[in-house]
Amino acid sequence: MTEIADVAISGLGPVGTILAASLGRLGVRTIAIDRSDDIYPLPRAIGLDHEIMRVIQNLGLADAVAPYVASYRPTEYQGIGGTVIARYESLPPPYPQGWQPSLVFTQPPFERAIRHALTKMPAVEVRLSTTLQQLTERSDHVELDVLSSSGELETIRARYVVGCDGGGSAVRKELGIAFESLDFDEPWLVIDVMVDEDRLHKLPETMVQYCDPARPATYVVGPGQHRRWEIMLLPGEVPDDMSREDVIWRLLGRWLGPEDGRLWRAATYLFHALVANEWRSGRVFLAGDAAHMTPPFMAQGMCQGIRDAANLAWKLALVLKGDARDALLDTYRQERRPHVRTTTETAKSLGRIICELDPAKAKERDEKMLAETGNPPVVRYRQNLIPALVEGALASEQGMPVGTRFPQPWITTLTGACRLDDFAGSSFRLVVSPDVTAQEIPDDIKQTLSRLGGSILYVETHGVSRPITARSFSIVENDDVLAAWFRAHRIVAALVRPDHYVLAVARGPLELIALSRRFKECLRIEA
């Protein structure tokens, strides 16, 4: 690509890859580089959630990743003496986003399946073994000086650049952007074992957070025979000594021995809680670990980065096509930073429960938690820990459910049941309850939707889902997911963004007129 690309992405980890695929799907001419010649071969992330699966589904890749994804087991927090002090589970079906709310996955083949999809996207050019050296911002584009593995220097030009280049981000350093530290820096040893099939019965059936002051640890049930232990290093322990194979098997001795499986890998990490102060400088953005790092106690580090990608992709596409002003891109930080910060604070507070090393304080913690949640503790749902977006390209003044994720029910069609997005797509949508007729929808809103490639979904209670026109659908759901959502929020219509966040709502047919104005204002459509 010798001309100016629309977007250049530096870093093809999970976040850069999903951003490239999301842009490619929208026809945005994207050039994506990575300094490595292949994906990172070892797993880091092991858990993901339904919001991320919906992003992958929208890219048409759900079947491609399916072999590497499995259910997430419930999580027990065990206090002193193994007492269960908290229990988290996934929400029961019908699932609000159309997928099991929490899942485990094997990262390397999962990432490979997504990266492979880029090779089929004409709008995306991938260059591996290519390292970003320097960025220079010009008036209408950015120059990226890159170095190939053969030592060749080259300049790539793009209207916008996104640094998805991980925690040590060269892009972030080039921009001189600092992290805000949320004050969590704990050293942990992470061990992955492929356990022999006939030894799996020796291990716990649930995920376990061992909140044991003598040795805090996490046990994760991965897909198939993959099991992970994350073990906190105690004061004075040296990371290099602790990752020796003999030490690892000694640490794992409580659960299993070398005769029970194959050590896949072990590495020590400092678990951090960091959020970049700025997420944009001129034409350059940060996403994923380049913008934030989260301790893994909620399995949300990568998920947060993929949310960044889903948030930024449609905004870049709209601005590049001239459908919205550049100011729309400022809503990226406005929306994502508080969301990441809140989620990271929650992960950190779970980490503080687990990492307590003082036996007296740990005893106090157990008593307090059991007093709060009962003994045995009531089940809590992990997904309720994920916040809504607070402000940005949203009609926040309307309150809930604006800023939350629009549900994805299973629907009935002439050819059988399917998830809503597979039938009606994932562009902008006006979704109306049976209380609203087609005549009540203002022309203005129909025109804006049509200009942006959006559609109208009429939820009905009988029959089967069917297309009405190329851009409008009648929707009949299998369960009560959408109907219950409309009832719970006392609304009759919702405007939904391509990343599935609710932009604005109408509480009665008369409010539909105001929706049109809100739509344009939120998207910075009018000059």
User: How many whole angstroms separate alpha carbon 110 and alpha carbon 70?
Assistant: 12
Rule CB under 6 A: is residue 131 a binding residue for ligand FAD? yes
- CB-nearer residue toward ligand FAD: 24 or 296: 296
- CB-nearer residue toward ligand FAD: 83 or 131: 131
- Residues that bind ligand FAD (rule: CB under 6 A) add up to a total of 33
Angle (CA) 255 215 374, round 5°: 90
- CB-nearer residue toward ligand FAD: 49 or 499: 49
- CB-nearer residue toward ligand FAD: 57 or 130: 130
CB-CB neighbours of 372 under 10 Å? 11
Asked if 393 contacts 315 with a C-beta cutoff of 8 angstroms, the reply is: yes
Asked if 113 contacts 65 with a C-beta cutoff of 8 angstroms, the reply is: yes
Grouping H, G, I as helix, E, B as strand and the rest as coil, residue 24 is helix
Rule CB under 6 A: is residue 303 a binding residue for ligand FAD? yes
Where in 421-460 is the site for ligand FAD (CB under 6 A)?
A: none
Where in 256-275 is the site for ligand FAD (CB under 6 A)?
A: 269
- CB-nearer residue toward ligand FAD: 283 or 429: 283
Rule CB under 6 A: is residue 35 a binding residue for ligand FAD? yes
Rule CB under 6 A: is residue 32 a binding residue for ligand FAD? no
User: How many whole angstroms separate alpha carbon 227 and alpha carbon 255?
Assistant: 11
Find the shortest distance in angstroms from Cβ 32 to ligand FAD: 9
Question: Taking phi first (over 0 means left), then psi (-120 to 50 degrees means alpha), and beta for anything else, what does residue 190 get?
Answer: beta
Asked if 84 contacts 376 with a C-beta cutoff of 8 angstroms, the reply is: yes
Among 34, 74, 77, 281, CA closest to 173: 281
- CB-nearer residue toward ligand FAD: 132 or 389: 132
Report the interhelical angle of 443-451 vs 512-522 (nearest 10°): 30
- Return the C-alpha torsion angle 90, 91, 92, 96, nearest 10: -130
Residue with tokens 């995920």: 207
- CB-nearer residue toward ligand FAD: 11 or 96: 11
User: Applying CB under 6 A, which part among 41-49, 328-336, 371-379, 466-474 lies near ligand FAD?
Assistant: 41-49
- CB-nearer residue toward ligand FAD: 48 or 493: 48
Grouping H, G, I as helix, E, B as strand and the rest as coil, residue 440 is helix
Among 132, 177, 347, 495, binds ligand FAD (CB under 6 A): 132
Residue with tokens 């695929």: 21
Asked if 513 contacts 390 with a C-beta cutoff of 8 angstroms, the reply is: no
Rule CB under 6 A: is residue 101 a binding residue for ligand FAD? no
Paired residues of 432 in beta bridges: 458, 493
Pairing label, strands 142-148, 280-281: unpaired
DSSP 374: T
- CB-nearer residue toward ligand FAD: 35 or 336: 35
User: Applying CB under 6 A, which part among 34-42, 65-73, 399-407, 483-491 lies near ligand FAD?
Assistant: 34-42
Find the shortest distance in angstroms from Cβ 213 to ligand FAD: 22
User: How many whole angstroms separate alpha carbon 116 and alpha carbon 306?
Assistant: 17
Rule CB under 6 A: is residue 46 a binding residue for ligand FAD? yes
DSSP 132: E
Among 5, 9, 13, 59, binds ligand FAD (CB under 6 A): 13
- CB-nearer residue toward ligand FAD: 33 or 424: 33
Find the shortest distance in angstroms from Cβ 400 to ligand FAD: 26
Rule CB under 6 A: is residue 44 a binding residue for ligand FAD? yes
Rule CB under 6 A: is residue 309 a binding residue for ligand FAD? no
Rule CB under 6 A: is residue 299 a binding residue for ligand FAD? yes
Where in 154-213 is the site for ligand FAD (CB under 6 A)?
A: 164-166, 170, 190
Angle (CA) 243 244 250, round 5°: 95
Rule CB under 6 A: is residue 36 a binding residue for ligand FAD? yes
Summarize as ranges the residues that interact with ligand FAD (CB under 6 A): 10-16, 33-36, 44-48, 131-132, 164-166, 170, 190, 269, 288-289, 296, 299-303, 305
